[in-house]
Amino acid sequence: MSKKVLITGANGYIGRHVVQAALNKGLTVLAADLKFDEIDDRVIQVTHPIFSNDAQLFEKLGSPDIIVHLAWRDGFIHNSSIHIEDLPQHYQFLQKMVDSGVKQIAVMGTMHEIGYYEGAINAQTPTNPESLYGISKNALRDVLFNITKNTETVVQWLRAFYIVGDDARGSSIFAKIVQAEHEGKEVFPFTTGKNKFDFINIDCLVKQIVTTITQTEFSGIINVASGVPETLANQVESFIKDNGFKIKLDYGAFPDRPYDSPETWADVTIISNIMEKYDK
């Protein structure tokens, strides 16, 4: 019998891709979200609220072997108060799952936990988040590792960087460019574009996520990323060219965000080892 994996936020930008990849990997997928219109119909739909106070929550969510916790609101609005307001619910959900004896938990993290930093980011890089989004994810990570001490639950904190692909469905700068192009706009207000970030296509990201959860040898903080720094300008210009768009970037219309580093990327040693050993 295949392992059962509960994917929260299954109908989201990343979630729907993780669902499909997990199904294709032979896992039994329990999909939890508020709606299911974008989800592969091979899943088992879980309609019971993950943030409920139900004493039998684990059982009502299908008693999964693995939990992939992707659910998160306002992920593209970095200083939304929602991040702080929702944090207790995320903690309570994960605490209930640990208390119920779940074998493995993987949670989506973010490079925004780190804050301003130049160079390669690894599991030991100090964190000093400068947005409510980063602060909340950073706190949840600390809480998760704390509540799983002296338990048998395997924890994998999936620290993502900048994601590209399936852009019409997301809320990133790429999605906004798609929208502006479709609206017939000639220019798109932009920053200097000089900052270098770690970009990864969503298909590659999802492959890394699903491969990671199918093993337990590697745990802790795991960067899911490309490991290659590239300027935002080059990435966006290539996106415009590859899609045959006519829109032009208006450089300098917006200031660079003060908490964005001039050049930062992921140390991908761990994920490279996972992919080499388990991506079969």
What residues are annotated to the active site? 133
Task: Say whether 8 sits in a helix, a strand or coil.
Answer: strand
Distance CA 41, CA 99 (A): 31
Distance CA 108, CA 120 (A): 19
First to last CA, the chain: 19
Distance CA 41, CA 1 (A): 20
Strands 229-231 and 196-201 come out as: antiparallel
Distance CA 267, CA 229 (A): 11
Which single residue is written with the structure tokens 């108060």? Answer: 81
Look at the chain and count its residues.
280
| 226, 121 contact by CB (below 8 A) | no
Which single residue is written with the structure tokens 């296509």? Answer: 201
E strands, the chain, are 4-8, 28-32, 44-46, 66-69, 104-110, 119-121, 154-160, 162-164, 187-189, 196-201, 220-224, 229-231, 248-250, 264-266
